């Protein structure tokens, strides 16, 4: 006899960004760029930057506590914590383990997930499977980054793009027919070199020579990443819709990774979705990697933009190269 699978959905959301902002005007004083150039090509006006000595776990904890409160779930009732990040406090222990202790989630397993900007969507897919299979009941998924600490502030091609922040969602059982209905995950490792941090692991350890060459910072082939993103963003949502037995005509909202307004616009056009149905906050936060999707989702949810029954697509792409999308039927009462 086949065991009935539990529907897994989002019970609550939260977000946190640092207080400090760096505007395009500020960047004009640091590198050869201009506010008009940045806005035209990316849609970004400013980004939030962590304070000196502020680790990613601090932002993640604040977002997590907000999500737990919104969900009405106690930390002691969490079964698993997943943190999607490329800027963990340390290589070991995982940031998820640090949060498990700080939150007092005494019975929760915990691990970090590495899928760069696709990380939150990957984490949502993983969480839903644990819940659907009856293994766990409550899973906290966090996307959190302090990219300002791995950005070369003398490189005008990358420093204009990235910001810091954290978004969180508590996943748990919801009524049948709601929650995460389908997902699409993918990767193309042959494109790994177009977006990486060269000196960050066992292949090229951080040495004096690596530091002098700025190899500890994000390196990106912007044109290659743009071409990949335009091709994959709409496609991955279409694949997830097929797997969830829905069509793009039924889609109510798109919550995309906030990397570039032109990429978001391209995905919306492919899905035939008007821009007023696309959640966009790139102008004030920039690209927050794994935090982009959950921060946009949480802001929209707390602004009461979603109603119960809305069909929402979460979609991202990132280093790896990776891509991911989830189709969610919103289960939370406004």
User: Can you spell out the DSSP letters for 49-80?
Assistant: -PPTT--HHHHHHHHHHHHHHHHT--GGG--E
d(CA 251, CA 147): 32
37 and 155 fall within a common domain: yes
56 and 12 fall within a common domain: yes
85 and 155 fall within a common domain: yes
169 and 29 fall within a common domain: yes
User: Does residue 334 carry a pLDDT above 80?
Assistant: no
- What is the pTM for the complete model shown? 0.95
Total number of domains constituting the chain = 2
Max intra-chain CA distance, the chain: 67
Q: Quick check: is 117 catalytic?
A: yes
Q: Using one digit for the tens of pLDDT, what is the confidence trace for 96-129?
A: 999 999 999 999 999 999 999 999 999 999 999 9
Question: Residues 252, 224: contact at Cβ < 8 Å?
Answer: no
Burial class (CB in 10 A: 0-12, 13-18, 19+), 141: buried
User: Does residue 250 carry a pLDDT above 70?
Assistant: yes
Q: Which of 3-12, 258-267, 278-287 has the lowest mean pLDDT?
A: 3-12
130 and 259 fall within a common domain: no
Share of the chain above pLDDT 90, in %: 93
CATH number for 50 = 3.40.47.10
Domain final residue pick, 176, 195, 229: 176
| Strand extents, DSSP E, the chain | 8-16, 21-23, 46-48, 80-84, 109-113, 139-146, 164-173, 179-187, 195-196, 219-220, 253-256, 311-318, 322-329
Catalytic one of 117, 159, 260, 326? 117
Q: How much is the pLDDT for 2?
A: 54
Q: Quick check: is 326 catalytic?
A: no
User: Does residue 151 carry a pLDDT above 80?
Assistant: yes
The mean pLDDT of 220-229, rounded to a whole number, is 95
161 and 15 fall within a common domain: yes
Q: Quick check: is 281 catalytic?
A: no
Confidence band of 1 (pLDDT split at 50, 70, 90): very low
Catalytic one of 48, 159, 257, 260? 257
d(CA 93, CA 58): 15
- Could you tell me the residue range of the domain that residue 38 belongs to? 8-176
Q: Does some domain include residue 2?
A: no
Q: Using one digit for the tens of pLDDT, what is the confidence trace for 267-289?
A: 999 999 999 999 999 999 999 99
User: Does residue 19 carry a pLDDT above 50?
Assistant: yes
d(CA 328, CA 128): 11
Domain final residue pick, 176, 192, 224: 176
């Amino acid at each position: 006899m086949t065991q009935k699978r539990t529907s897994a959905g989002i019970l609550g959301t939260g977000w946190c960004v640092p207080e400090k902002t760096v505007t395009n005007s500020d960047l004009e004083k640091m590198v050869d760029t201009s506010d008009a150039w940045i806005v035209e090509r990316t849609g970004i006006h400013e980004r939030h930057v962590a304070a000196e000595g502020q680790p990613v776990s601090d932002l993640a904890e604040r977002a997590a506590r907000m999500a737990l409160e919104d969900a009405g779930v106690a930390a002691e009732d969490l079964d698993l914590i997943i943190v999607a990040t490329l800027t963990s406090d340390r290589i070991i222990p995982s940031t998820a383990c640090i949060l498990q202790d700080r939150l007092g989630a005494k019975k929760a397993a915990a691990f970090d997930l590495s899928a760069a900007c696709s990380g939150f969507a990957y984490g949502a897919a993983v969480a839903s499977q644990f819940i659907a299979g009856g293994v766990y009941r409550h899973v906290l998924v966090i996307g959190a980054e302090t990219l300002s600490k791995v950005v070369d502030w003398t490189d005008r091609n990358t420093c204009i793009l990235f910001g810091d922040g954290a978004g969180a969602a508590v996943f748990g059982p919801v009524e049948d027919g709601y929650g995460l209905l389908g997902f699409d995950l993918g990767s193309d490792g042959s494109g790994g070199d177009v977006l990486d941090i060269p000196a960050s692991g066992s292949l090229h350890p951080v040495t004096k020579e690596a530091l002098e060459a700025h190899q500890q910072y994000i390196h990106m082939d912007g044109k290659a990443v743009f071409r990949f993103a335009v091709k994959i963003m709409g496609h991955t949502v279409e694949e997830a819709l097929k797997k969830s037995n829905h069509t793009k005509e039924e889609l109510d909202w798109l919550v995309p990774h906030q990397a570039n307004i032109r990429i978001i616009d391209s995905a919306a056009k492919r899905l035939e979705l008007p821009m007023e149905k696309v959640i966009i906050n790139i102008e004030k936060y920039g690209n927050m990697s794994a935090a982009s999707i959950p921060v946009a989702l949480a802001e929209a949810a707390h602004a009461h933009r979603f109603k119960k029954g809305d069909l929402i697509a979460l979609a991202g792409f990132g280093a790896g190269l990776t891509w991911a999308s989830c189709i969610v039927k919103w289960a939370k009462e406004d």
